Chains A and B, each alone.
Chain A
């Protein structure tokens, strides 16, 4: 439901259209804000060898509603969340996460968060990693959010995406939500 900036009331008759716009519709807009949500349950895990940030979707279907979420927002703050399990190809390998909004990364250099894959556990099932990020003052309109990742040189990074890996059948979640 679209949000309308609440009107400043004057000495006027109450009419149904005002009540519907400013009470009904605004309450519904607060109750059910724009949200995009994906929980992976895929046929194969995602991998990358890129040492610069690329879309997670680059290694699979590039479809809206997966690791790409389009929100039509009302103007305000957006919360972005990811949690999942990753691993490198050897002990000490590094995996980094980031998000782009409308094609621009939200954090330069090494992104939002990083992990050195723990010694001895770089075979399945990997290392948990996640973040919750608040983006303030996002303009009203349509915005595209994409989960991105990279690894360090010589690494093949794997993100478990519910592909049935024994003891590694994890279902990461990526969600984006207008919170104001």
Chain B
């Protein structure tokens, strides 16, 4: 539901159109904010050997989500929550890095948002709050790289002992 900046009321008659726009529609906009969810389930786990940041999967609805945000409700910019709940894996001790792009712009510079240096299976769960997002359509993507060898992101692909179904979602928080 579209958000409309709540009007400043004056001592004049209240019309049904105004109540529908400023009350009904705005309540619905708060109740059901823009949101996109990817339940990570594929026929094979994601893997990379790239030592420079690359898209995990830029297919819309997978590790790329487009939502149309409405800002802070009063003509200003707003917030978006980007959440990952996933499990990473590597057979040997390597570094796996993650970062987020919004509209092609890197949100976490340099080596990204986090680095996990380990071997075996380890969780990668976080919520990133992105602030100052202008009202409008925005594309959010998750990218990764490794230090060497091969890194995996489990995709509920039937891999024995690692058949894990993660989630990647983006939601307007204000």
Contact = CB atoms under 8 A, between A and B. Distances in A.
Contact of A152 (B23, B30, B87, B161): B161
8 contacts: A8-B24, A111-B165, A131-B85, A132-B125, A134-B37, A134-B83, A134-B167, A180-B35
B171 interface: yes
B60 interface: no
Nearest to B21: A9
Given A26-B27, A134-B83, A113 B35 contact: no
A58 B90 CA distance: 32
Interface string A137-180: 00000000000000010000000000000000000000000011
B149 to A, nearest CB: 16
A6 B23 contact: yes
Given A134-B169, A134-B171, 14 more contacts: A3-B31, A6-B23, A6-B25, A9-B24, A109-B165, A112-B85, A112-B167, A113-B164, A114-B154, A116-B122, A131-B125, A179-B171, A180-B33, A180-B35
Interface in B106-164: 118-123, 125, 127, 154, 156, 158, 161-164
A113 B85 contact: yes
Find the residue from B19, B20, B32, B162 having the highest chain A CB count within 10 A. Answer: B19
Nearest to A10: B16
Contacts of A133: 85, 167
The 6 closest A-B pairs by CB, nearest first: A116-B120, A109-B163, A6-B24, A9-B19, A107-B165, A9-B16
A17 interface: no
B123 A136 contact: no
A56 interface: no
Contacts, number: 106
Contact of B125 (A10, A113, A152): A113
Contacts of B87: 113-115
A7 B122 CA distance: 48
Contacts of B169: 134
A180 B37 CA distance: 14
Contacts of B123: 113-115, 128-131
Nearest to B122: A115
Interface bracket on B: 35 or more
A112 B166 contact: yes
Contacts of A12: 16
A7 B156 contact: no
Given A116-B121, A132-B85, A76 B19 contact: no
Interface string A1-44: 00100111111101000000011001100100000000000000
A129 B23 CA distance: 42
B86 interface: yes
Contact of B24 (A7, A76, A130, A134): A7
